[in-house]
């Protein structure tokens, strides 16, 4: 009998990408093989996100396609995991009776139990029970890996659904993570990205011995062959000097920090329950730049939070202007079920939010473009990812600052090569690999 086949569609953030790699690893250890197309799969899985309304809508469209496939072949199984599943729980079976199995981010491992049992009835698993990081992984790239250092979030940002979909914060012990990283390096990994909802709160919950995020960075940086360490997302309130020093002192910790701002108005930050003010945020930025002057800073910003006035929005524009981010993700506020902000009176018309968003993006891009010019003329280490997306004769890779570079040269994915930067837009850099010096690199 041919092996059963699975297909996974992933929505949402890097944590979901990580979780999907673990789902694939687990399924392959059960003897399943990956199907390139859901139409060829015996098991159609969705790893869902619920962060904004649009995320929900995209997923529902996909789920309806799966329904049609199941109508043709009723033996097919449909599974729904991730944050949307967690946020609706058993409701999923009432809304979508063709779904066979549903599970939240804390019980991904139960999928294996379901698939190997004789149960014919639909099952839901929504406890916060374990780390997906403990499951086997099928990595997308041989030389890059995600590492789940913690799950959950103890913050209560008033707009955010994540604390209810991922539960309370729980960290994995540092010794376990160092061992996992060593194993990854032995398997060809050169770059890891540490994942958590609030990575720099890492370790405070551990007993008997607490750990800190900076200790973890120092421990990982000792591992020979681990060339690049990244992490996302830190919270500005927990961005302390020890973490910033780790950037300055450890070559392996990359010069990029994603520091979500959300709003530049202290009044709105308070309503968002972010627990920092505009001044405190700017003070963090100043401390980072003092220790790591060349650092790349990126951010997340929400436009049109309930009650945001033009004056509040102007403060956001001022901060973006002042900081000069290397890039930013910008979102229009989306009310989420069960969150505090969804209940707040919202008197800003949608057109005005869209207009604010356009003005914001303009400033973000102008500043990112200006900032990127500092790279032109420099030779930078680039981790090669493969062919360039719009020109297959060129290569694509990333600098330590996490900038995408399209460049001419000869190299294999996974190599780190020197590239002279010849041009820069707000989004990407262009360059040429210096062939002579490349001979001397790995
Ligand atoms: N834990 C991370 C990521 C949270 S989700 C962090 O705290 O940084 C990623 C981004 O989505 C957030 O930073 C925020 O900018 C945005 N976001 C979250 N909830 C939102 C909502 N209800 N409406 C619009 N944007 C939202
Ligand atoms: Fe959501 Fe705030 Fe936690 Fe980030 S820190 S996941 S925005 S509650
Ligand atoms: Fe979405 Fe959950 Fe990530 S809501 S953004 S998949 S933590």
| pLDDT (0 to 100) of residue 56 | 86
Cβ of 51 less than 6 Å from ligand 2: no
Report the chain's C-alpha Rg in angstroms.
Answer: 22
**How high is the pLDDT of residue 440?**
61
Tokens of 396: 């694509």
Cα(8)–Cα(19) distance, rounded to whole angstroms? 11
Residue 361: burial class (beta carbons within 10 Å; 0-12, 13-18, 19+): middle
CB-based contact 328:301 (threshold 8 Å): yes
CA torsion 98→100→105→106, rounded to 10°? 140
Q: What is the mean pLDDT of residues 193-207?
A: 97
For the chain, domains (ranges, CATH) are: 5-125 (3.40.50.12160), 139-253 (3.30.750.210), 255-372 (3.30.750.200), 376-441 (2.40.50.140)
Ligand 3 pocket, Cβ-based, cut-off 6 angstroms: 12-13, 15-16, 49-51, 82-83, 161-162, 165-166
Mutate to test the pocket of ligand 2, among 157, 168, 300, 342 (most ligand atoms within 8 A of CB): 157
Ligand 1 binding pocket includes 262 (Cβ within 6 Å): yes
Strands 379-387 vs 395-399: parallel, antiparallel or unpaired: antiparallel
Ligand 2 contact, 151 CB (< 6 A): no
Residue 51: nearest ligand to its CA? Answer: 3
298 CA → ligand 2 middle, Å: 16
DSSP string, 282-338: HHHHHHHHHH-TT-EEEEEEEE--TT--HHHHHHHHHHHHHHT-SEEEEEE----TT
Output the average pLDDT for the chain.
96
Measured from the CB, is residue 150 less than 6 Å from ligand 1? no
State how far the Cα of 218 lies from the Cα of 199, in Å rounded to an integer: 15
Q: Is 131 in the pocket of ligand 1 (CB under 6 A)?
A: no
Which range scores top for mean pLDDT: 61-65, 101-105, 345-349?
A: 101-105
Q: Which residue has the tokens 């996302």?
A: 232
Tens digits of residue pLDDT in 312-355: 999 999 999 999 999 999 999 999 999 999 999 999 999 999 99
Q: How far is the CA of 331 from the centre of ligand 1 (A)?
A: 8
Ligand 1, atom nearest to 335 Cα: 22
Give one word for 200, left, alpha or beta, with left for phi > 0 and alpha for psi -120 to 50: alpha
Is any ligand 1 atom within 6 A of the Cβ of residue 303?
A: no
Q: How many CB atoms lie within 10 A of CB 58?
A: 14
State the pLDDT confidence band at 79, using cuts at 50, 70 and 90.
very high
Residues listed for the chain? 442
Among 192, 190, 188, 240, which residue's Cα sits nearest to residue 214? 240
Tell me the two tokens of residue 274.
Answer: 């972010």
CA of 419 to the centre of ligand 1 (A): 34
Question: Is the pTM for the entire model greater than 0.95?
Answer: yes
Give the Cα separation of 304 and 300 in Å (integer): 14
């Amino acid at each position: 009998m041919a092996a059963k086949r699975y297909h996974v569609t992933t929505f949402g953030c890097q944590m979901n990408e990580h979780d999907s790699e673990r789902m694939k690893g687990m399924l392959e250890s059960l003897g399943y093989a990956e199907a390139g197309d859901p139409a060829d799969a015996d098991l159609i899985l969705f790893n869902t996100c619920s962060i904004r309304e649009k995320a929900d809508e995209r997923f529902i469209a996909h789920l309806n396609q799966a329904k049609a496939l199941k109508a043709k072949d009723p033996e097919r199984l449909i599974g729904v995991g991730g944050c949307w599943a967690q946020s609706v729980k058993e409701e999923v079976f009432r809304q979508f009776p063709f779904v066979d199995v549903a599970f939240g981010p804390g019980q991904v491992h139960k999928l294996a139990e379901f698939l190997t049992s004789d149960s014919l009835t639909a099952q839901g698993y929504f406890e916060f029970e374990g780390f997906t990081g403990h499951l086997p992984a099928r990595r997308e790239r041989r030389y890059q890996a995600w590492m789940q250092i913690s799950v959950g979030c103890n913050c209560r940002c008033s707009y955010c659904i994540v604390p209810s979909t991922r539960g309370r914060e729980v960290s994995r012990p540092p010794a376990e993570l160092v061992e996992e990283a060593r194993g990854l390096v032995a398997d060809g990994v050169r770059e890891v990205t540490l994942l958590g909802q609030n990575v720099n709160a890492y370790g405070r919950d551990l007993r008997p011995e607490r750990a800190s995020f900076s200790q973890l960075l120092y421990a990982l940086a000792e591992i020979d062959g681990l060339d690049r360490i990244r992490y996302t997302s830190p919270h500005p309130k927990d961005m302390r000097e020890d973490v910033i020093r780790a950037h300055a002192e450890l070559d392996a910790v990359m010069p990029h920090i994603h520091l979500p701002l959300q709003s530049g108005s202290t009044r709105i930050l308070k309503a968002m329950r972010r627990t920092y003010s505009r001044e405190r945020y700017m003070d963090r930025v100043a401390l980072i730049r003092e220790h790591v002057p060349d650092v790349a800073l990126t951010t997340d910003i929400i436009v049109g939070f309930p009650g945001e006035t033009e004056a509040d929005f102007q403060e956001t524009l001022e901060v973006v202007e002042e900081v000069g981010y290397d890039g930013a993700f910008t979102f229009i506020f989306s009310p989420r079920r069960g969150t505090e902000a969804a209940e707040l009176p919202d008197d800003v018309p949608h057109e005005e939010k869209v207009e604010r968003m356009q003005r914001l993006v303009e400033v973000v891009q102008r500043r990112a473009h200006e900032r990127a010019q500092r790279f032109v003329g420099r030779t930078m280490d680039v981790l090669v990812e493969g062919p360039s997306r719009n020109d297959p004769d060129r290569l694509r890779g990333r600098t330590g600052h996490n900038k995408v570079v399209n460049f001419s040269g000869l190299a294999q994915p996974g190599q780190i090569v020197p590239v002279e930067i010849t041009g820069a837009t707000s989004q990407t850099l262009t360059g040429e690999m210096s062939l002579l010096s490349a001979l001397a690199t790995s």
